[in-house]
Chain A
């Protein structure tokens, strides 16, 4: 068994996110550009979002620590850039992300909750005020598609700018299962709970719209498993995952199927950390 360190875990996490960014550039850049729906420089919008995240990380680190640190904050910021809706305005994104990032740095000293979900939810709220709540890219907004199951697996469904590829998510998950540090029970039980509930719902209502949800798969693999905000003990991880799966299913009827996993993860992470803090006052 090989020992790793925090830096290597962060690097691995980032490396495994790169294919998602490339897929995002293809789906939300190249394909739309080929249809003539966006200008040349907007082809790289997913990349711009990630670059803005990186710049914010570098600037804040230089300002606070006088050096750039490779820590989990880097992963958080990159993850946020991958799950953003296509219609987010780059300036709104930059300013809001900077403010929310600084806020999470301050708040994390006092409370513990899933930072990625927190930043994401604030950004979605601000974007809603400026552009409305839509995850459609210009092509999806203009045409009506009938996706086959393979299309959805490949990532052609509506969702975050670079997070829709289910195939990539499953590949990364299968790689991660061999990593000792990865909490593999969490995505397993989130998806299991979610699938069982949506299948029961399908049996009752014949509505299969929610069963395959790329955001639930991506969110459960990358965001719900972030070590800092999830429990350390296996039995608690399973309970945490079942709770997220359950809440995600409930929330799809309130917030829609894309945001539900992030809201559920945020709520449950907040709940368990408050619980743990109450139990063990220092």
Chain B
């Protein structure tokens, strides 16, 4: 197992531990189709355009260019008519075997998750914690839906024909531990395990080795994934999700339950109070995410967090301290890669080199091999 470390978080960033709902946005955006469609075309809620769900009902107002999954993409701008018209409703399904569950996931464009379930496993672990600092989605999903999560986990365990499934929570997360403990007795085949609060703990191999399980035989899932399966079985569309909007440039950091396709600008106008300072925006995490140049970005199913980080330190000249080499969990010679303009395929994109660098050099971007 790698030597893991606990990262110090900025005490200024306090995330409010309740969910703010944003389920009636004025506009949502979805990537355009290959053929033209008329303006004022009616869109129905919970229909798919390619693999992107339209989370509201409304009409087409025009075509725009926005950051969609961190790429500048042409998108339809759909104006909400607040009528929630939808063409089909999902029904609660009774899953009898794993194949049915896989099909349900594939029908809802979750083939990655479906593929994860393929193969034979001896152990199943659900990690209920967020890897990134300044992110609390997994925590909040477990905290609010702990009964459903445990029920779904037990169902999945029986579908995989396993004797025991583990629910892993970080040992510092007292609130969730209390909630899970209050109910886990009703599931004799589920075991609660507490893991140390360290960065990269939720990686498959770290979880497995900490629990003395074989990596290849262990299926490690996240709370979000269990929650998605549960929602689909219960007949709910995955048209909204939790995202954490945090950072020391914000007066208040929030967990927002937002419709997919919403623009960050609209969220900003509605909920965020930004301190009068210069800041950078990080998409999907301060450590593992990427810096974006514009607030004109869209919340998609792959968005987990937006971090507004105060611009304090400018990039300086490398002082050759070697901290990046010391901290790299993959033992990459980061300093050499940086100086010789080399890229490493072993890079995990964990962002620890960026975090530790006293000269604030964006090492991750320069060494990771795309």
Contact = CB atoms under 8 A, between A and B. Distances in A.
13 contacts: A1-B5, A1-B7, A3-B8, A3-B358, A5-B359, A6-B319, A6-B358, A227-B320, A232-B320, A232-B336, A233-B322, A234-B322, A234-B325
A58 interface: no
Interface string B301-340: 0000000000001001001111111110000010110011
B356 interface: yes
Contacts of A1: 5-8, 356
Q: In which size bucket is the chain B interface? A: 20 to 34
Contact of B325 (A228, A229, A232, A280): A232
Interface in A223-247: 227-234, 237
A227 B340 contact: no
B59 interface: no
Contacts of B7: 1
A228 B333 contact: no
B24 interface: no
A39 to B, nearest CB: 42
B340 A230 contact: no
A204 B335 CA distance: 43
A3 B356 contact: yes
Closest 3 CB pairs of A and B: A232-B322, A232-B335, A227-B321
Interface string B331-370: 0010110011000000000000001101110000000000
A22 interface: no
A265 to B, nearest CB: 15
A281 to B, nearest CB: 9
A234 to B, nearest CB: 7
Given A233-B333, A233-B336, 19 more contacts: A1-B6, A2-B8, A3-B8, A3-B355, A5-B313, A6-B358, A6-B359, A8-B358, A9-B319, A9-B358, A72-B319, A180-B356, A181-B321, A227-B321, A228-B319, A228-B320, A231-B322, A233-B335, A280-B339
B320 A230 contact: yes
Interface in A61-83: 72
A8 B319 CA distance: 13
A268 B355 CA distance: 31
A5 B316 CA distance: 10
Could you tell me the dominant secondary structure of chain A's interface residues? loop
A183 interface: yes
Nearest to B352: A1
Interface in A210-225: none
Contacts of B324: 232
Contacts of B327: 180
Interface of B: 5-8, 313, 316, 319-327, 333, 335-336, 339-340, 355-356, 358-360
A72 B321 CA distance: 12
B326 A234 contact: yes
A232 B323 CA distance: 8
Could you tell me the dominant secondary structure of chain B's interface residues? loop
A237 to B, nearest CB: 7
A205 interface: no
A4 interface: yes
A157 B333 CA distance: 42
B262 to A, nearest CB: 32
Contacts of A8: 358
A3 B8 CA distance: 8
A72 to B, nearest CB: 7
A267 B339 CA distance: 23
Contacts of B319: 6, 9, 72, 227-228
A231 B327 CA distance: 16
Given A1-B6, A72-B319, A180 B326 contact: yes
A276 B339 CA distance: 10
Nearest to A4: B358
Most interface-central of B8, B320, B324, B359 (chain A CB within 10 A):
B320
Contacts of B5: 1
B356 A5 contact: no
Nearest to B334: A232
A180 to B, nearest CB: 6
A234 B340 CA distance: 18
Interface string A38-61: 000000000000000000000000
A230 B6 CA distance: 27
B356 A233 contact: no
B325 A233 contact: yes
A233 B337 CA distance: 12
A181 B340 contact: no
Nearest to B313: A5
A231 B326 CA distance: 12
Most interface-central of B323, B335, B356 (chain A CB within 10 A):
B323
B322 A183 contact: yes
Interface string A116-148: 000000000000000000000000000000000
A57 B13 CA distance: 38
Contacts of A72: 319
A6 B361 CA distance: 11
A233 B7 CA distance: 22
Contacts of B6: 1
A232 B321 contact: yes
B320 A5 contact: no
A180 B7 CA distance: 13
A181 B8 contact: no
